[in-house]
Amino acid sequence: MKASLLLIGLLSAGVAFAGPPAPHQGGIESKNYKWNAQEGEKIEALKLKGDKKRGEEAYEVCGACHLPSGAGRPDGTFPQLAGQHTTVLIKQMADIRAGLRDNPTMYPFAATLVDPQELADVSAYIEGLCIPIEHGKYEGADAAMQVAKGKELYEKQCLECHGKNGEGVKDKFYPVIAGQHYKYLLRQMTEIRDGHRRNANPDMVKVIKPYTNDQLVAISAYQSSLVMPGNMCKPKAGGKKK
């Protein structure tokens, strides 16, 4: 068993893990920025077949924050990962490791993956997890109205890339958003719109740039309501069914 168990123990004990800072590379603000340049360990990992059994062990360090189920946290501090495309997982982890995406909390843990094969392994394991039914959604009194507004906006400009059910497009690195937490979605879209997500897709930046805060709330409310038939976890016996 690797050092991941030690890290989990530190987290559960409330001890902060102080890792080295991530390297910093030019992102979307750079003239030479290429959103999905096929190079480095990312392209190596994408060519490899991930081993889910080995990936399960490597995921132990991730489960401390993202939970063993991959459900993340409803308050949006940690995203829901279960069922995410391996392509998206590999790209995002490689970008964090390379300093193209700023995530000081994630970086020390992403840095524990030793090579492209382990990157492929843990991504394969995560992709195979069922998407939790229960996750953070918009809970305002006007939820029905916000979801309706968000649906209209989503179908107008988001559906082409993220799909009718939020399934994304694996070979284009468009993420699954079904089952994702409302607060996480809202935070990421706000950061992309405001230029704070350095590894953002320029095409998405163009789409989202004109949106107001209220529109982002509505879109996030709708997106967090999406489910992918056949990919969601089965309701527990005696639990709520949706």
Reported as a single tens digit per residue, the pLDDT across 48-98 is: 999 999 999 999 989 999 999 999 999 999 999 999 999 999 999 999 998
Could you give the C-alpha distances from 214 to 62, 132, 186, 190, 207, in angstroms and in order? 33, 27, 10, 11, 15
Reading the block at residue 193, the tokens are: 């719109």
Residues 6+ apart with CB under 8 A from 164: none
Q: What band does 12 get if pLDDT is binned at 50, 70 and 90?
A: very low
The class level of CATH for 143-223 reads mainly alpha
Percent helix / strand / coil, the chain, rounded to 5 = 45, 0, 50
**What fold characterizes domain 4-127?**
Cytochrome Bc1 Complex; Chain D, domain 2 (1.10.760)
pLDDT of the residue at 7? 36
* pTM of the complete model: 0.88
Q: How far apart are the C-alpha atoms of 80 and 185, rounded to whole Å? A: 10
Q: How far apart are the C-alpha atoms of 32 and 185, rounded to whole Å? A: 28
Per-residue pLDDT at 171 exceeds 90: yes
φ/ψ of 183, rounded to 5, equals -70, -30
Q: Domain residues of the chain, as ranges? A: 4-127, 143-223
Residues 6+ apart with CB under 8 A from 37: none
Q: What band does 215 get if pLDDT is binned at 50, 70 and 90?
A: very high
C-beta of residue 150 within 8 angstroms of C-beta of residue 211: no
CATH topology match: 4-127 vs 143-223: yes
For the chain, the average pLDDT equals 88
According to DSSP, the residues that pair with 169 across neighbouring strands are 174
Give the DSSP letter of residue 166.
Answer: S
Q: How far apart are the C-alpha atoms of 101 and 198, rounded to whole Å? A: 6
Q: What is the pLDDT of residues 115-140, one digit of tens each?
A: 999 999 999 999 999 999 899 999 99
Q: What band does 3 get if pLDDT is binned at 50, 70 and 90?
A: very low
